[in-house]
């Protein structure tokens, strides 16, 4: 079955540091890939997505590239801010399905 593996957190960084949160997946066919963000005490919201190989999703300074050859969708940001502190979820949706598969989430803590 489909699965998503994320790096364990928490990831603790200083403000303006470079961020990478790793995400790899297992799926049949060619899934769509997503990153969701959950700020403290809130529900999840879509951060970015990519629907086919080599696509790059980007939003709010975050980027992730759909790498079919390595089955990865790593999240990156060049300079994090304290306000980026949140839990980040990688997810996939296989073609023909409407039930996404989520990773366990990675907590990011950014210190001033």
User: Minimal CA–CA distance to 32: which of 16, 62, 9, 55?
Assistant: 55
Q: Give the x-and-dash track for 1-40 against other proteins (CB under 8 A).
A: -------------------------------x-x-x-x--
Note whether 87 binds other proteins by CB under 8 A.
yes
Paired with 45 in beta bridges are 37
Q: Is it true that the peptide bond before 10 is cis, omega within 30 degrees of 0? A: yes
Indicate the DSSP class of residue 64: E
43 binds other proteins (CB under 8 A): yes
Q: Which of 3, 45, 79, 83 binds other proteins (CB under 8 A)?
A: 45
Q: Does 56 participate in binding other proteins (rule CB under 8 A)? A: no
DSSP state of 67: B
For 13-39, give the secondary structure using H, E and C. Answer: EECCCCEEECEEEECCCCCEEEEEEEC
**Which CB atom, from 19 or from 93, has the smaller least distance to other proteins?**
93
Residue ranges in contact with other proteins by CB under 8 A: 32, 34, 36, 38, 41-46, 49, 51, 87, 89, 93, 96-100, 102, 104-105, 107
């Amino acid at each position: 079955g489909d699965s998503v593996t994320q790096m364990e957190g928490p990831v603790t960084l200083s403000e303006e540091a470079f961020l990478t949160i790793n995400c790899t997946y297992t799926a049949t066919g060619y899934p769509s890939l997503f990153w969701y963000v959950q700020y403290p005490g809130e529900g999840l919201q879509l951060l970015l997505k990519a629907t086919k190989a080599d696509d790059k999703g980007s939003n709010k300074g975050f980027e992730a590239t759909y790498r079919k050859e390595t089955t990865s969708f790593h999240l990156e940001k060049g300079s994090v801010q304290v306000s980026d502190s949140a839990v980040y979820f990688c997810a996939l949706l296989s073609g023909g399905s409407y039930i996404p598969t989520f990773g366990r989430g990675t907590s990011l803590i950014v210190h001033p």
